[in-house]
Structure 1
């Protein structure tokens, strides 16, 4: 930490601090390093002081072994490597707690505080200092500690909201200018970029978002640049939010709670961010018990929470604070926001993560949780899990359906083993033999967005996880559609048959669907496919659109995509057989360039398209 213009200490610590006391240290980018250094420099006769805090962007000197007799650390969230190392060596403690409930530990004297060490801006003409970039749990610590000691930092921004503390609440202070710690803007790789694109697809215009810091949040924010009327209700913001606010993408107009305001409890980023929030009336900082309250979060309609994880098992359990027995971070606000988004009207709780570890050797979608790993978010909380291979929708899904959805977004090299592992427990039936395959010709992000008659639809590959969706699609057809598509009165679509139709080797054959999606999941509205005929390098095409969706252009979109992929794959000819009385289908094929072939068939017309 860079300290300048340090004034001589005027704090007599003997008045406020005794051996065995519990002290609180300010959070995130507002760690009062000068106060800690002053305690260490004047620590004669002091020992066994318990230090409690959440994430600290600091050199964390208080946890170094040389200060083990002076400080005993108890972290609610594990940030720096020094803290992490001390906890996993048994020299420090980790106390898991929802961020929204940490203030309760202070307020109800479950963990009574003797001293709160905070950093503030200089007081204004009315005697109010600002907590600046970090309000979070600091406000609760100020209210409950016997003594409040402040480092007054002229470099601390003055932020709006419930971020103020009057000088009469401060028992002692020292003025030390300190540049706030900066976190560099992440470099986004291809995998992270794809995750960001998929997550952005789940964010509807008019949504309110909660997003963290790091590679994936930065990628998501990048792909929100063309959205409209977004709002922010988030425990933290970073630099990625600035340009979206300046461009008007984030304007908070559609929020239903704190309308017109970006609401946070702390921010972490570069100097540009700290300058952006300084005196900004459009960004308001509130304590964690307010911002992270699931009830308050749910007051925002279309609330989208975006969080990450260390691993997710095939039932949807989320591990995010430990790697096996090795504690890595903390519960933080993940469950607060996932629960709040679940309760929100139109809300979407999302977990986003790369499919593998950085070296690609370990899958982060796992058949069972690593021994020692802790479930932070239960299998009942999450609606969506996103990797660079797509979006898994879990809400309302059985264990079998969840397993297939999550295998679909696992890295391809781990899918076969994941399927074998879950079959051991009978989570997936014996007739489900094939793992999902991709359609790389769709692009790096294998989902395409279409608008038909002012409604939004998504084109993607069918996969084994769509077994039930295809059944529902089939049973939505009337008898005329069944006759036109199957040429006979089919009355049943068994799970085995549905499974066979969605378990496609997409590298040989092709099966695409158009889906309609809302906060509860997605439903199939159209299916197009071809069956490859190796003997003459051709493929037979067929598709069906839900009756209520016809005439909107869906058939044309599916057929256009099929033709494009067939060309890329070097297929020489597409063929189709259509009933003579199916005039709309014939029109779609002929408009696409299919020509009628001479045929003796009375009921059907044969068509061909040479590529």
Structure 2
């Protein structure tokens, strides 16, 4: 390769390395070599029709401005920044969809051969090695596959560990020019992003390895991981939240099964504090995207949790992430890489997290069909979880009917009925599925509540239509004796239609709660409690617990919740009809203040608790505490 002598503090002789029609790579993210761009614009005016290729680039991106359209043709793998987005929208720039893990092969196999790579590096060390600093990603691959490397040596560039080094002798030319590293401040959270983050944090177990992007939701997630233990990081990017968790010891990479003891990434974007954190930090290693984003490498991490966002998700689970209708908005990025990698990881969890609505609540982002012109980035078969501020939709192993009901449940309540009506037209749900999911208002923002019973973790939540098959399995797990005590006879079957009726509850009137055991995508109902609303502000209460969990306190917890809800709704009386031989159930009711009243049937006990009184506030408080007045 023809070399041009490296030079410091000197202008680049562009005509020696560039010709009209060449393809030029521009450094990524927070490592855009702006001094080189300025020099090319000013000193390389006779060089025309250059194709400039890059991923996300932070800054003004002046090469994409209209006044340079005859000199530069932009081709981006990821649309970022106003100038680039406007150029793509106006047809002056191209968008090339490609996962980050695969971009390097486009360079190496000459699908997109590179003539020159413009990069920014740290000053050389005593051995002459410069670090790519905050952005290794596809920069290393571009540099290795370009005819010429032109470097901007920036004294302010952090020196990062890992596979981030190039020797100064590899540069065809270089200039030394100080440039502040662009900062991205932590985005202020919102009520919605915090709720989403709380649900996401529930899916992250101690010892898991995580991948996070940038934005309100990822920033919020890190704030809800502070009580976790022994987390690891394998992520295409890291931000301030990751650095803070490392400093607190929450992230120590101790239980990682790939690069144990190290946080590995391909680039970082954040505050100056973050850049100072990664500088000469041996605990954070930067590698090319071809390595970090390689699904096979991601899958080597046990309990890998990938957390990515989307523009919309349809009711079959298809994820749109790079376009809004016909308008391209961003790029594929690393979403497909990490979804695939996490799905192949032992215990892995690919998560798509997004707000339920857009445009101030006027548009649902959970949709029956993806918007016309929009493209699917992640297929319906690859996503395990979709999280909104209304909960967690578990899709792995679910039929189209089940996943549609799961996703309707986490859609905004204003759109749930309409979504159910839309998919009924296409027979995604049977005729007997008439009700859409509803929330329990008294549960507040979090409809999923982790609880500890007998030193074991379970979740308390409302029953919903997607539980149809799970409730059927729960029914068939019971012994004949349990069925007789619960129903006063022994029912022989539980059809899907009957199960659907039992889980499709208007929770603003009747109540149907369940305690479930959740292991990844596997959900098992352990107990169900419900009350049926009667006239004159009364309700009948019943519950049933899986035999293996009887006596552990699940029935008490369900009854405690129902007393609180009934009291909060101003009901006057709760009553239950219990077989006289069912001593355990009678004990539970009496523990919560239910009194026996006369019943003409000697084989059945009627128990009553009066709720409504001038001291209703005390009733609610005592119900919350599980105490009896």
In terms of mean alpha carbon deviation, does 291-300 or 471-480 score higher?
471-480
Query: Which runs of structure 2 are paired with 1:260-275 in the superposition (5 Å)?
Result: 260-275=261-276
Query: Which runs of structure 2 are paired with 1:113-192 in the superposition (5 Å)?
Result: 113-192=114-193
Q: Deviations over 1:356-388 (max 9, x none)?
A: 003111110111110000000000010111111
Report the counterpart of residue 84 of structure 1 in structure 2. Answer: 85
Asked whether 1:398 is paired with 2:421, we answer no
Query: Which runs of structure 2 are paired with 1:548-567 in the superposition (5 Å)?
Result: 548-567=548-567
C-alpha distance in structure 2 between counterparts of 1:427 and 1:229, whole Å: 42
C-alpha distance in structure 2 between counterparts of 1:350 and 1:32, whole Å: 34
C-alpha distance in structure 1 between counterparts of 2:455 and 2:104, whole Å: 46
Asked whether 1:321 is paired with 2:322, we answer yes
Report the counterpart of residue 591 of structure 1 in structure 2. Answer: 591
Kindly indicate whether the alpha-carbon contact (under 8 Å) linking 2:9 and 2:177 is maintained by their aligned counterparts in 1.
Answer: no
SS of the residue 1:96 aligns to: coil
Deviation at 1:175, TM superposition (A): 0.6
Report the counterpart of residue 11 of structure 2 in structure 1. Answer: 10
Kindly indicate whether the alpha-carbon contact (under 8 Å) linking 2:50 and 2:73 is maintained by their aligned counterparts in 1.
Answer: yes
Kindly indicate whether the alpha-carbon contact (under 8 Å) linking 1:9 and 1:38 is maintained by their aligned counterparts in 2.
Answer: no
Q: Deviations over 1:99-118 (max 9, x none)?
A: 10001111111111110111
SS of the residue 2:119 aligns to: strand
Report the counterpart of residue 332 of structure 1 in structure 2. Answer: 333
Kindly indicate whether the alpha-carbon contact (under 8 Å) linking 1:510 and 1:531 is maintained by their aligned counterparts in 2.
Answer: yes
Deviation at 1:455, TM superposition (A): 2.4
Report the counterpart of residue 609 of structure 1 in structure 2. Answer: 609
Report the counterpart of residue 437 of structure 1 in structure 2. Answer: 438
Deviation at 1:602, TM superposition (A): 2.2
SS of the residue 2:358 aligns to: coil
SS of the residue 1:407 aligns to: helix
Query: Which runs of structure 2 are paired with 1:37-436 in the superposition (5 Å)?
Result: 37-436=38-437
C-alpha distance in structure 2 between counterparts of 1:473 and 1:248, whole Å: 41
Deviation at 1:173, TM superposition (A): 0.6
C-alpha distance in structure 1 between counterparts of 2:404 and 2:603, whole Å: 43
Structure 2 residues without counterparts, runs of 5 or longer: 1-7, 612-629
Deviation at 1:8, TM superposition (A): 5.1
Kindly indicate whether the alpha-carbon contact (under 8 Å) linking 1:437 and 1:505 is maintained by their aligned counterparts in 2.
Answer: yes
Q: Deviations over 1:297-327 (max 9, x none)?
A: 1111111111100000011000000000000
C-alpha distance in structure 2 between counterparts of 1:229 and 1:118, whole Å: 36
What do you get for the CA RMSD once the two structures are aligned? Answer: 1.3
In terms of mean alpha carbon deviation, does 455-464 or 30-39 score higher?
455-464
Deviation at 1:521, TM superposition (A): 3.0
Q: Deviations over 1:426-459 (max 9, x none)?
A: 1111111111111121121111101223321111
SS of the residue 1:375 aligns to: coil
Kindly indicate whether the alpha-carbon contact (under 8 Å) linking 2:150 and 2:171 is maintained by their aligned counterparts in 1.
Answer: yes
Deviation at 1:85, TM superposition (A): 1.2
C-alpha distance in structure 1 between counterparts of 2:249 and 2:573, whole Å: 48
C-alpha distance in structure 1 between counterparts of 2:330 and 2:91, whole Å: 15
SS of the residue 1:201 aligns to: helix
Q: Deviations over 1:15-45 (max 9, x none)?
A: 1111111111010000000001100111232
Q: Deviations over 1:473-502 (max 9, x none)?
A: 111112111111111111211111011001
C-alpha distance in structure 2 between counterparts of 1:169 and 1:440, whole Å: 64
Report the counterpart of residue 519 of structure 2 in structure 1. Answer: 518
TM-score (norm 2): 0.95
SS of the residue 1:540 aligns to: strand
C-alpha distance in structure 2 between counterparts of 1:362 and 1:521, whole Å: 31
Structure 1 residues without counterparts, runs of 5 or longer: 1-6
C-alpha distance in structure 1 between counterparts of 2:279 and 2:589, whole Å: 60
C-alpha distance in structure 2 between counterparts of 1:264 and 1:554, whole Å: 44
C-alpha distance in structure 2 between counterparts of 1:252 and 1:584, whole Å: 47
TM-score (norm 1): 0.97
Q: Deviations over 1:74-129 (max 9, x none)?
A: 00011112111111211000000011000111111111111011101001111111
Kindly indicate whether the alpha-carbon contact (under 8 Å) linking 2:15 and 2:47 is maintained by their aligned counterparts in 1.
Answer: no
C-alpha distance in structure 2 between counterparts of 1:207 and 1:608, whole Å: 47
Q: Deviations over 1:222-273 (max 9, x none)?
A: 1111111111110011111122111111111111111111111101111111
Deviation at 1:557, TM superposition (A): 1.4
C-alpha distance in structure 2 between counterparts of 1:444 and 1:480, whole Å: 38
Kindly indicate whether the alpha-carbon contact (under 8 Å) linking 1:320 and 1:376 is maintained by their aligned counterparts in 2.
Answer: yes
SS of the residue 2:513 aligns to: strand
In terms of mean alpha carbon deviation, does 21-30 or 475-484 score higher?
475-484
Report the counterpart of residue 614 of structure 2 in structure 1. Answer: none
Report the counterpart of residue 4 of structure 2 in structure 1. Answer: none
SS of the residue 2:451 aligns to: strand
SS of the residue 1:544 aligns to: strand
C-alpha distance in structure 1 between counterparts of 2:204 and 2:573, whole Å: 39
C-alpha distance in structure 2 between counterparts of 1:252 and 1:593, whole Å: 50
Report the counterpart of residue 573 of structure 2 in structure 1. Answer: 573
Kindly indicate whether the alpha-carbon contact (under 8 Å) linking 2:395 and 2:521 is maintained by their aligned counterparts in 1.
Answer: no
SS of the residue 1:560 aligns to: helix
Q: Deviations over 1:163-200 (max 9, x none)?
A: 11111211211011011111121111111111111111
In terms of mean alpha carbon deviation, does 305-314 or 565-574 score higher?
565-574
Query: Which runs of structure 2 are paired with 1:494-505 in the superposition (5 Å)?
Result: 494-505=495-506
SS of the residue 1:146 aligns to: strand
C-alpha distance in structure 2 between counterparts of 1:445 and 1:329, whole Å: 31
